Amino acid sequence: MPLHAVETFEEWRVAARELIATGVPAEDVSWTASSQSLFSAQSPSSTQTSGTKNFSVPPEFIERARVVACHQDQGRWELLYRILWRLTHGERHLLKDSADDDITRFQRMHKAVTRDVHKMKAFVRFRKVVVDEGEQFIAWHRPDHRIVRLAAPFFARRFPTMNWTILTPEESVTWDQQDLKFGPGVPASEAPEGDVLEDLWKTYYVSTFNPARIKIKAMKKEMPVRHWPTMPETALIPEMLEQAGQRVTQMMNSREGFDTTAASFFPDEMTWENVAAAASACRACHLHEHATQTVFGTGATNAGIVLVGEQPGDREDIEGEPFVGPAGQLLDEALENAKIDRTTVYITNVVKHFKFTEKGKRRLHQKPNAREISACRPWLEAELEILKPSALVLLGATAAQALLGRDFRITRQRGQIVKSEWCDRTVATWHPAAILRMPDEVRRRQMTEDLILDLATVHGR
């Protein structure tokens, strides 16, 4: 029986394609995930090549299989191949059969991995380390599954202009503002934090990812090059550190990286109801101390359109619903003019508690700061992940910058439909409150028309 050793989805895909094309049934293949067995792997081309035929599988399978392939379950390759075999042998619609044992397992694994990726996105906190060459951001995370490759592109999009490294027990990834580089994991029994993480990074990063930083000449003098490959890495590290002058000079924001965020309050099952209930007890930043209540998103949870504002205002804080005050009224009118029924959309905010200063009896809105926004963002991300909007409207700079990056400028990029992490049709537009504040009547009318136009554009397909 051919034994196939595969580590990654791409390797499995290549082997499976050959096996299917040459007509090898699932029960005749055995898969192993272990790299020690590489020698016993039989090249697919050495099996019979007669009877090769073309076949196609639903793209949905490939997409989901890529996710399932990251599951820790040892039997994942077998399962994927068995489903692939069945899909290509008369059961083309197998994926829709939720009563089928293979499909049930496939779906369960897909869900587990997706949730794990979601948790990674929410929990990873970078710690800034300043070295001679500049700043490096490092994070330690322990995922349940092998999801580093799945999640890495998200971090590259989110933090494109930072040099960062995420270390996990089995794999690691580094972003140098251009490419993602994957490396081995960091064998550590406990989650390293603080200075331990920093030390780990210094040794690990220097040795694994950036030999170019090391002063090669100085090293050659000390150690003949021919010895390098045979030296245990651990022996090289102190030398490398010293020779390269790789000294950590300063720790900045050392606390910030480990501060609590809303993700610490996530429920086990990430349904909308559970998440909303959990958010009502959120204490991830100090804003809950003075506000009346958490104002979570409301509306149709199967809505195609999701609107995101900044944070609740005075009325919203009292009523517990977003956009019910003056800004909400303007928004309602704009929605109506854009021929969108408010009851069919979902409305929420980046920050879920009202931030204000008191002036006499009045409570004046204050802009949330970066710390509060990042503490609260996991709630919004969870909402978007659950709702999977087909159109996403970001009202104002806070929402736009929280989801599209700090460099986003409403004044320049308003009304353009862009693809974002959460939705292929994302648009940023004026915040209704900004329109209300505009003293110039003509300008105010123009902005209102812009808002209506943007809503109508993103809505109408």
Q: Which residues bind ligand SF4 (CB under 6 A)?
A: 262, 279, 282-285, 287-288, 294, 351-353, 372, 375-376, 379
Does 401 bind ligand URA (CB under 6 A)? Our answer is no
- Rounded CA separation 287/355 (Å): 6
For residue 352, the minimal CB distance to ligand URA (Å) is 10
Amino acid at 249: T
We find the least distance from the C-beta atom of residue 322 to ligand URA, in angstroms, to be 4
Residue from 44, 322, 368, 378 touching ligand URA (CB under 6 A): that is 322
- 297 counts as binding ligand URA under rule CB under 6 A: no
Helices (H) and strands (E) in the chain, counts: 16, 15
Residue 224: other Cβ atoms inside 10 A? 9
312 touches, from ligand SF4, ligand URA, none (C-beta below 5 to 8 Å by class): ligand URA
Q: Which of ligand URA, ligand SF4, none lies near 323, with the C-beta cut-off 5 to 8 A by kind?
A: ligand URA
Residue 332 Cβ vs ligand SF4, minimum distance, rounded to whole Å = 25
Q: Which of 116, 310, 317, 454 binds ligand URA (CB under 6 A)?
A: 310
Alpha helices in 51-124 (DSSP H): 59-68, 76-87, 101-123
Stretch that binds ligand URA, among 27-35, 73-81, 209-217, 308-316 (CB under 6 A): 308-316
Partner from ligand SF4, ligand URA, none contacting 128, C-beta within 5 to 8 A by type = none
Nearer to ligand URA, 304 or 313 (CB): 313
285 binds, among ligand SF4, ligand URA, none (CB under 5 to 8 A by kind): ligand SF4
The partner in contact with residue 310, picked from ligand URA, ligand SF4, none with C-beta cut-offs of 5 to 8 angstroms by kind, is ligand URA
Q: CB within 8 A of 248, min separation 6: which ones?
A: 129, 130, 131, 198, 202
- β 180-184/171-175 pair status: antiparallel
DSSP reduced 3-state for 336: helix
Compare residues 204 and 379 and give the one whose CB is closer to ligand SF4. 379
Tell me the HSE value of 2 on the side-chain side, using a 13 A CA sphere. 23
CB neighbours of residue 196 within 10 Å = 13
Closer to ligand SF4 by CB, 386 or 418: give it. Answer: 386
Binding marks (x or -) toward ligand URA, 430..449, rule CB under 6 A? ---x----------------
Quote the CA–CA distance of 245 and 235 in Å, as a whole number. Answer: 17
Q: 285, 375 in Cβ contact below 8 A?
A: yes
Q: 121 touches which of ligand SF4, ligand URA, none (CB within 5 to 8 A by kind)?
A: none
For 244-272, b where at least 16 C-beta lie within 10 A, e where not — what string? bebebeeeeeeeebeeebbbebbeeebeb
In whole angstroms, the minimum distance from the beta carbon of 346 to ligand SF4 comes to 17
Count CA atoms within 13 Å of residue 410 on its CB side. Answer: 21
Shortest Å distance, C-beta 357 to ligand SF4: 16
Residue 109 CA, distance from chain mean position: 18
Strand-strand pairing, 134-140 and 127-131 = antiparallel
- Cβ–Cβ under 8 Å, residues 182 and 146: no
Which of 32, 163, 203, 311 touches ligand URA (CB under 6 A)? 311
Site for ligand URA in 151-190 (CB under 6 A): none
Report the first-to-last Cα separation within the chain, whole angstroms. Answer: 53
Q: Which does 287 bind (CB under 5 to 8 A by kind): ligand SF4, ligand URA, none?
A: ligand SF4
**Which residue's Cβ has the minimum distance to ligand URA?**
309
Return the one option of ligand SF4, ligand URA, none that residue 313 interacts with (CB less than 5 to 8 A, by type): ligand URA
323 near ligand URA (CB under 6 A): yes
Q: Minimum CB separation from ligand URA for residue 32, in Å?
A: 54
Dihedral over Cα of 259, 265, 271, 277: its sign: negative
Which residue has tokens 């409305």? 347
Binder of residue 262, out of ligand SF4, ligand URA, none (CB less than 5 to 8 A by kind) = ligand SF4
Residues 326-385 that bind ligand URA (CB under 6 A): 327-328, 349
The site for ligand URA, by CB under 6 A, has a size of 13
- φ, ψ for residue 311 (rounded to 5)? -160, 160
The window from 60-68, 70-78, 311-319, 355-363 that contacts ligand URA (CB under 6 A) reads: 311-319
Instruction: Tell me how far CA of residue 417 lies from CA of 54, 126, 343, 404, 427, in angstroms.
Output: 39, 30, 23, 12, 5
In the complex, which residues of this chain contact ligand URA (CB under 6 A)?
A: 309-313, 316, 322-323, 325, 327-328, 349, 433
